[in-house]
Every structure is written in C-alpha cells, then in structure tokens.
Amino acid sequence: MGTNKSVDETSLHALRVEKHGRRIATEGKKSVQEIIVRQSELKRWLRCRRAAYWQYTEGWIKPTKDKDVRGVGTHFHGLMAEYYGHEKSVELDNNFNPDDVATSQVMYDTYVSEMEESGMDIGQTTVAVEKRMHTLAIPVSDDVRYKVSCQVDHVYKDEALYGSPLIGQDHKTSSAFFNTSTNDFQLMTYAVVLHDNDFPVEYMEHNIVKRNKRTVRAKPPYVQRNRIRVTEEALAMWWNYLRTICTEHFNAHESSVDISSAYLYPNPDNTCTWGCDFVDVCSMVEEGEDYTDVLQTEYQLKEEEPHGN
C-alpha cells in the first residue's frame, strides 16, 4: 500500500488552534471569534451536559489505575498508524503499562495475520493517517463561529470497489463486535470534517478489533468492519445538526456562571453509576452541597490526551 501522509500545514494549523481553543478570524472586513471543540466533547454534551462541562470546559478527570483500556487503545492506535502510514507514530512515545503494551502487540500481530490471510486490505491505497482536521466555520451567533475538530485514523481509496471510492476509517478496540448505526455520531461528524478538508469520502467505517487475549479458546475472526454510506443529503442534514448542537453548546456556556446552571443539566440514567466519573459530585450538586473540596481532592486537571477525538 502507498501513502502520501505527511505532517502538513493543515494538520499543524489545526493542532495549534485547538491548543488555544479560541482565536480571532476575519470574514471580509468583519472580525469573528472562532471556538474549537472536539467531536468527543459534543458527543459527551449530548449524553450529559454537566459531565461534559466538568470534563471538557473545566478539564477535570478522575485519576485512573495504571492498567486501563485507554492505554491499550492508544498504543494500538499507534501501531495501526505505523502499519498504514509506514512511518513512526508519535503515539508510541507516551508511557504505557507493560501489560497494556503486551496486549496491544498481540492484538496487532493477529490483526496483521488476519489481513494477510483474508485479503481484506487488497486493493486499498492509504491517503491519510492520524490526520487532525476541523470543519469549516459553523455560525452560532453574529460574531462567533465554531469549528469541530477530530483526528481521523485512516483514509483510503478502495480500488476493489466500483469507482474506487474514498473511505474514512475509525479503529475501535472492543471486547466484542457491535453493530454500527447509519447515523453514528462520530462517523458522520468525521465525514463532514473530511468533506470540508477535500477528502470526499463516500463511506465511513468502524474497523473493530477484539480487545482480548488470544488464548487457545479464543477463535478468529478478531476483526470486523462495519461500513455506512455517506450521501450528499446525509452530509447536509448532519451539518445542520452540528450547527444546532454547537449553537446550544455556545448559548449554554454564555448563560452559565457555574455547574449549577439550569443550562448545564444532567441526564441521569442507569449508566451513571458505572459509566460516569462524576456521579459522586453530581449528587452533591443536586443536594445543594459544597462539592468543590471533593472535586479538588478526588479529581485532577487533565493533560492533553495522547489520542484525542
């Protein structure tokens, strides 16, 4: 497989802007403020505004144990970037738990073997790997624009399909295979971002790799690809959807003084106790208690994510 992947000015610009979060831009003779948000933040926002505010706006996280699936996922993404990009991945310069590295390496080795045996990648030519990009400006007020940022794992041309379509791919490590919705938030947002950056993908897909030990009892396949069609109509609808979300996100932040704001409401469900790190302090907010000491004692401000979307 060939690749024209390089650390180009588009990626560098997106990285620089995202670190600052905001900048002043011009539209003709008019100055506007640009705000960069990650697609993962908007996805979290849709699930629970309060948790998204704590995690992304204020930057709090709960300290994790040394061995964590995110460590495995980040390392595996680095190996996949090297596999499809044919050059060293900066992802692998991070510190990892040795057990996570071992698990990731086994997953990678079986992935490569399955690709060679199945021929799943035959006819594919890599176009971009681990590319950081963002959408064109999305108006949320008269003088404020949002840009939604993401890092796309892999973009390739599939010459085995009629018309040699361009396909965007997101690697997923999972304990089991799963179905992908035709309106999957991450994939459709990636599709908008790619089209805005002159990568006219016709399909998006999840490249799912089982995250388990390859024991004697474990049997292949370990890889499953779920592909969704990207049409012009779907892109237009999704862009309008993103504009609605971004506008609500902006208005809620402009109208809120702190986490108790009615605009930063939680969305409690049966996943809170096991799927949200903020469940303890959230209940304190509901009871009107002072949560700040608990937040500062049991949480920490996060550093830049090694593989952020």
- Within a domain: residue 306? no
Give how many domains the chain has, as a whole number. 1
User: Which residue, among 226, 228, 224, has the nearest Cα to 114 in the 3D structure?
Assistant: 224
Q: How confident is the model at residue 207 (pLDDT cuts 50, 70, 90)?
A: very high
CA torsion, points 30, 35, 38, 41, in degrees to nearest 10? -130
Helix axis angle, 39-47 relative to 232-254, nearest 10°?
A: 70
Q: Is 126 helix (H, G, I), strand (E, B) or coil?
A: strand
- Within a domain: residue 308? no
Q: How confident is the model at residue 16 (pLDDT cuts 50, 70, 90)?
A: very low
Residues pairing with 169 in the sheet: 154, 205
Report the alpha-carbon distance of residue 33 to residue 78 in Å, rounded: 34
Q: To the nearest whole percent, how much of the chain has pLDDT over 70?
A: 88
Report the alpha-carbon distance of residue 188 to residue 204 in Å, rounded: 8
- CB burial of 191-214 (b: ≥16 within 10 Å; e: otherwise) equals bbbbbbbebebbbbbbbbbbbeee
CATH number of the domain enclosing 294: 3.90.320.10
List pLDDT tens digits, range 47-87.
999 999 999 999 998 886 654 445 889 999 999 999 999 98
- Within a domain: residue 4? no
- Within a domain: residue 3? no
Sign of CA pseudo-dihedral 259, 260, 262, 265? positive
- Within a domain: residue 309? no
- Within a domain: residue 140? yes
Report the alpha-carbon distance of residue 49 to residue 56 in Å, rounded: 10
pLDDT for residue 8: 52
- Within a domain: residue 184? yes
Q: Give the pLDDT mean for 293-303.
A: 87
- Within a domain: residue 1? no
Tell me the residue range of the domain where 253 lies.
Answer: 9-301
The pTM is what? Answer: 0.87
List pLDDT tens digits, range 245-278.
999 999 999 999 889 999 999 999 888 988 899 9
Q: Per DSSP, which regions of the chain are E strands?
A: 22-27, 30-38, 60-61, 124-134, 138-139, 144-158, 166-174, 203-210, 223-229, 300-301
